[in-house]
């Protein structure tokens, strides 16, 4: 997963979350949605956006890695 120098807004990140909703486990979607309500810092928005970007196209191993990072970022218990 690559990083970029674009700062993503809360609205952009929410839109990305909604576009990937059907591919995410329900609890992860719900936690990410709640996370966005808490006005995360810019670097957290950027990280979440990139974890969600092309989530639907990733291989199983990549999804597992992204899921782990999503859990860490949003505070989902293991």
- 26 within domain boundaries: yes
* DSSP assignment letter at 59: -
Q: What pTM was computed for the model?
A: 0.89
The total number of structural domains that make up the chain:
1
Torsion sign, CA atoms 56, 62, 65, 69: negative
- 5 within domain boundaries: no
- 1 within domain boundaries: no
**What is residue 71's predicted lDDT score, i.e. its pLDDT?**
92
Per DSSP, the three-state class of 38 is: coil
- 67 within domain boundaries: yes
- 4 within domain boundaries: no
**What is residue 2's predicted lDDT score, i.e. its pLDDT?**
53
**What is residue 77's predicted lDDT score, i.e. its pLDDT?**
65
Domain encompassing residue 39: 10-74
What does the pLDDT profile of the chain (78 residues) look like in tens digits? 455 678 999 999 999 999 999 999 999 999 999 999 999 999 999 999 999 999 999 999 999 999 999 999 998 766
């Amino acid at each position: 997963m690559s990083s970029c120098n674009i700062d993503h807004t809360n609205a952009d990140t929410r839109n990305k979350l909604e576009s990937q909703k059907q591919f995410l486990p329900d609890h992860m979607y719900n936690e990410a949605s709640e996370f966005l309500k808490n006005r995360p810092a810019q670097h957290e928005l950027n990280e979440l956006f990139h974890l969600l970007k092309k989530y639907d196209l990733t291989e199983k191993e990549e999804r597992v890695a992204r899921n782990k990072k999503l859990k860490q970022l949003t505070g989902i218990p293991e």
